[in-house]
Every structure is written in structure tokens, then in C-alpha cells.
Amino acid sequence: MTRHLVRAASLAAALTAWQLLTSLDVDLWLRFSQFPTVADVARAFGDRLGGDDYWTDLTDSLTRILTGFVLAAVLGVATGLTVARSRLAEDLLGPLLEVVRPIPAIALVPVAILLFPSNEQGIVFITCTAAYFPVLVSTRHAVRALTPVWEEAVRTMGGGRWRVLGSVVLPGALPGIFGGLSVGIGVSWICVISAEMISGQYGVGYRTWQDYTVVDYPGVFVGMVTIGVLGWLTSTAVERAGRWLTRWLPRTEYVATAHLRVPGARGRVLGPRARKAAAAAVPAGTTTPAHPEGVRDEHLV
Amino acid sequence: MSTSSETPAAVRGTRLSLVNASLGRPGAPALDSVDLDVAPGEILTVVGPSGCGKSTLLRTLAGLLPALAGTVAQDGSPLAGPAADRALVFQEDSLLPWRTLRANVELPLAIAGTARSERRRQAESWLARVGLAGRERQLPHRVSGGQRQRVQLARALAGAPRAVLMDEPFGALDAQTRAGMQDLLVEVLHGSGATVVFVTHDVDEALFLGDRVALLGAARPDGPDGAAGSGRLLAVREVPRPRERSASDDPARLALRREVLTSLGS
């Protein structure tokens, strides 16, 4: 609860500073006199929210990024697995991938324009390429770092290639894959906005650039805030999905003494010693609803 | 192998044989010219100093490592890769950490195509047999090392293999836990009838569990093709009164113990 307060206070402080600097027209070395105030931006935001264009822009950008990102996730994981598991695939694809990888996705705009019949597809292509490489690289690393004994265990149970892939490689690599997906969704936003600025019709990036060319500065800030919020929401979604899918991972059991919590109150991060202490503090016969196995974890042969 | 009786030992066990077999990785042979025959239902323990090829022997029998030369066969037919019929229990933790204990034990059954409800029932019954009833839904990292080894044992046996290959399964456990695990193993294997090859570096464990004990040692450096680092099978001995705790001071057992210790020390 206190942490939420601290976070809210930090945001509020930044907004207050912005409002003060701009409304007082502070012109030191940085010039805030040209800057729209928070109130201006809020007013512009209110106007936009009432109009249709804002929502069209928003859904267009979201559609582009989600299409590109999902494609990149599927393709990146698939190529990462193949390259890590097959020497032939590594020899065939490795050099090509390594040469294409350093090219910034946004530099592929000319390629996209030449290749694709519509701008829309080009933007999705650029977004997809941006997210593809982080996902590919982290998948490849994660698969190569798997504990060999897991695979051997499944093979000695009679599991074939596909069983090993589905029961060991994919779940075992998930933590690493999600590292790549988190990076990927961030890069995707950068590229979808840039691509929209260059060649889009509708979309948050397109609108922001339009506002800039018609000197509508509050509008530019509305666009920036929108991008920020959307980016934050999508990365949180990826992060959440990752944590949920890899909830089997033993999380760090570090706990600062000041934050020692009692089991029952979301005591998920309790260290072993803290857990024991907390268990001792609970009167005998009381059940600890949230995490009973933590207390029962004695070393019983 | 008679097929007439109801005793599972006669039906379930399998014969494992190595004829003049060289084992190891290409370029790095670990064991030379091994001749060994493990009878159906027999428990063979394997002892030897570190690096003499004990694990190589097991991995070869499991089918993870092809023989470099000679024949390795199950019931007369040469091995072709790993199979559910020969379960391997590893020294290190080989449970899949994202699966609950029950889901880990269900895995060989799932691979064999057993229906979901049936494999759940069997997995739970196996977990109960190794003393882990009520912990089915826990993840491996939530239980102790000894408990994880019990789950590995349950998982190996759940697939109803005809041979169980165990690679120092209790090597990382403390003495007390280890004795408990040995008793559990004897109890669980009794009646399963599976052929067991059990690798250990603990002589007393080998003499307690095994019907016979195989001694591995380093090849003589002046031997004909005794490449450096490669080992060989020194001897196979019958164990008097196997699996009797009270037999540890039996004179015949003590004599064998001395022989084994001497061979290990040399």
C-alpha cells in the first residue's frame, strides 16, 4: 500500500514540477515558455477523448503492434528453437540472421515500401522485425542453457523428439523466452510509432507527427502520453503473462527484516528463516491459509 | 524365463547382457572389454573408484550412449536407443521443476499414452508408496533432496519398466536418509520384479542391496589396449544373504567386504 502511495506521489511531483515550470514561463538555459502546461495538455486530452479520431488512432496502433508482436513471438521462438536444436538449421540460418540482426528495424522502411503492397503491411513488417531478433536470441540462449539431465530423463522414459520439445525444451526455455518478449514489446513500440510517423495513415505516431507539423504542441504531448501509457500497459501484460507461465520458478527468497510479513498476508517472499519465525509466532492450532506448505517444509527424508 | 507362474519377477524382469563391450564416448573410451550378464529380476550393484566408468555403464544400458564395440543387448536383442522399458534414476535432480510432484510421476505414463484419470490415480498411488501422500501438488523445489529422490524413484517405477538403472541415486543424501531410502527401495522393488543395476560408491550399500556385486577398476596401464583413464570390470561376486541388515556381520559377507575394499584401494 505504501509503495503505491510512493509511486503515485512520484508521478504527482513530476507533473507539479512540469506545471510550475511551464505556467511560470521559466526560461533559464532550458526554455519552458514555449512548452504547453499540464493544464493545456489535459484540456487537449479531454477534447481528443471526445472525438472519433483518437480512438481510431489508438486501435490502429494497437492492431499493428499486436499483429507484429505476435508474429514475431511465434517466428522468433520457432527459429530460436530450430537454430538451437539443429546444427543444419544453425549453419543455414545463422549467418543470414547475424547479418540482418544489426540493421535497425526502422532502417527497413525502404524495404517495406518496396516489398509490401500497402503501408499497413509494411508497418506490421517493421514492428515484427524489431521484436523478432530479441525473441530469437533469447530463445536460442535459453534452449542451449537447459539442464541436459531433463532431456535425458524424458528420453529414458521413451519420449521422442516432439515429447522432448513439448515437455522439456519449451517449458524449460520459457523464462528466457519471456526475457526476449519483454525486450521485444518495447522495441516494437519504438518501431511502430516511428513507422507511423514516416508512412502511416492514422495511428498514434501519425497523429503526433501531424500535430507537430501544424504546431499543435498540446496535441503532440497528448500523443506522447498515449504512447507512454499504451507501452506501459502492453509491457505489463507481457510481464504478467511471463510471471504466470513461469510461476514454478523458485523466486528470490530475499526479505529485508523491516518488511517481514506474516504468512497469510501475501507472504510469498518470505525467506526460510523468516517463515519459520513467522510460523512460531502463530499460535498452535491456527491454520495459515495462504501458504501452508511453507510451514510444513521440514526436512523429512 | 518362465512365463507360467504368477510371480511378477519371472514375468517382469529382463536380461541385460554385455559381450566384449567397449563403452564410452568416441575417442574417450571409459570401459574396455566388459562381459556381464544381469539375470531377470536380479539386483546387481556396481562399485568402483571415481572415474572408472560406472556411470558410462549405466548410460549405455539406458541406451543414451551407444557401445563403441561389442554387443549390449536386452533379452538377446541389441539396444537401439533409450526406451521406457529401462528406466534411469539419476544422481542429480532430474525432476522437471515446472511440474508438480504428481505431474512428474505421471510423465512416463503420459508418454506411454495412459488415460489422464488412470495416470493420475497411478501417480498418486506411487507417491503414497514412497511416503509422499498429500504432497502431490507441490513443486519439486518445495520439498527436500531426499523427497525429490523418492519422487524420482516413484517416477521411474510408474512406467512399469522391466529394468531400473540407478546411478548413485542416494549419493547426495546424508547417512540416515540413505538407510531409509535403501529400505524403501527394497520394499518397493520387492514384487516389482524388475531387473536392477545399481551404481554406488558405498561398499556397504552395494553389499546390502545387491544379489551380486560387480567391481570396476582402472585398467592396468601396461595392458594390451589399456588407454589412460579407461577402466575394466574386475570381478562379479555373489553377495551372501542380500538385503538383510542383520547379515552385516556374517563372516562370508565380511570377507567379501574386505575383498571389495582391497580392490577399491588398489
Structure confidence at residue B245 as a pLDDT band (50, 70, 90): confident
The pLDDT of A54-81, averaged and rounded, is 92
My answer on whether B171 and B154 are in the same domain is: no
- Given a contact cutoff of 8 angstroms between Cβ atoms, the answer to whether A215 and A227 are in contact is no
My answer on whether B141 and B180 are in the same domain is: no
The pLDDT of B43-69, averaged and rounded, is 86
Which structural domain, as residue segments, surrounds residue B113? 95-160
Query: Helices (H), strands (E): how many in chain B?
Result: 8, 10
CB contact under 8 A, A149 and B92: yes
Whether B257 maps to a domain, the answer reads: yes
CA distance A51 to A57: 11
pLDDT at residue A252 above 90? no
**Which of A23-32, A254-263, B237-246 is the most confident on average?**
A23-32
Whether B4 maps to a domain, the answer reads: no
Mutation site, B95, B98, B153, interface A, largest A CB count within 10 A = B98
**Any A CB within 8 A of B96 CB:** yes
Whether B131 maps to a domain, the answer reads: yes
Residue with the bigger pLDDT between A238 and B181: it is A238
Residues of B in contact with A300 (CB under 8 A): 144, 146-147
My answer on whether B40 and B112 are in the same domain is: no
Least confident of A269-273, B113-117, B188-192: A269-273
Q: What is the DSSP string of B34-72?
A: EEEEE-TT-EEEEE--TTSSHHHHHHHHHTSS--SEEEE
My answer on whether B219 and B259 are in the same domain is: yes
**Mean pLDDT estimate for chain A:** 82
Mutation site, A155, A156, A253, interface B, largest B CB count within 10 A = A156
| CB interface of A with B, residues 224-253, below 8 Å | 246, 248-250
CATH number of the domain within which B75 lies: 3.40.50.300
Closest CA in chain B for residue A250: B141
Name residue B24's beta-bridge partners. B29
**Any B CB within 8 A of A167 CB:** yes
Compute CA distances A16 → A20, A28, A32, B67, whole Å: 6, 18, 14, 75
My answer on whether B77 and B185 are in the same domain is: yes
My answer on whether B249 and B176 are in the same domain is: yes
My answer on whether B192 and B78 are in the same domain is: yes
Q: What are phi and psi of B197, to 5 degrees?
A: -115, 120
Give me the residue label for grid cell 505556467.
A23
My answer on whether B137 and B168 are in the same domain is: no
- One-letter amino acid for residue A106 of the chain: I
Report domain extents, chain A: 45-245, 254-285
CA gyration radius, chain A: 25
CB contact under 8 A, A157 and B139: no
Residues of A in contact with B111 (CB under 8 A): 154, 157-159, 163
My answer on whether B255 and B220 are in the same domain is: yes
**Which runs of E-coded beta strand occur in chain B?**
16-25, 28-38, 43-47, 69-74, 77-78, 86-89, 163-167, 195-199, 212-218, 231-238
CB contact under 8 A, B107 and A167: yes
**Any A CB within 8 A of B220 CB:** no
Last residue of a domain, one of B132, B160, B188: B160
**Mean pLDDT estimate for chain B:** 82
HSE-up (13 A, CA, CB side) for residue B47: 24
The pLDDT of A146-168, averaged and rounded, is 91
CB contact under 8 A, A249 and B107: no
- One-letter amino acid for residue B98 of the chain: W
- Options 2.60.40.10, 3.40.50.300, 1.10.3720.10, 1.20.120.790; CATH for A45-245 is 1.10.3720.10
Q: What are phi and psi of B40, to 5 degrees?
A: -55, 130
The ipTM is: 0.85
- Given a contact cutoff of 8 angstroms between Cβ atoms, the answer to whether A149 and B167 are in contact is no
Q: How many domains does chain B have?
A: 2
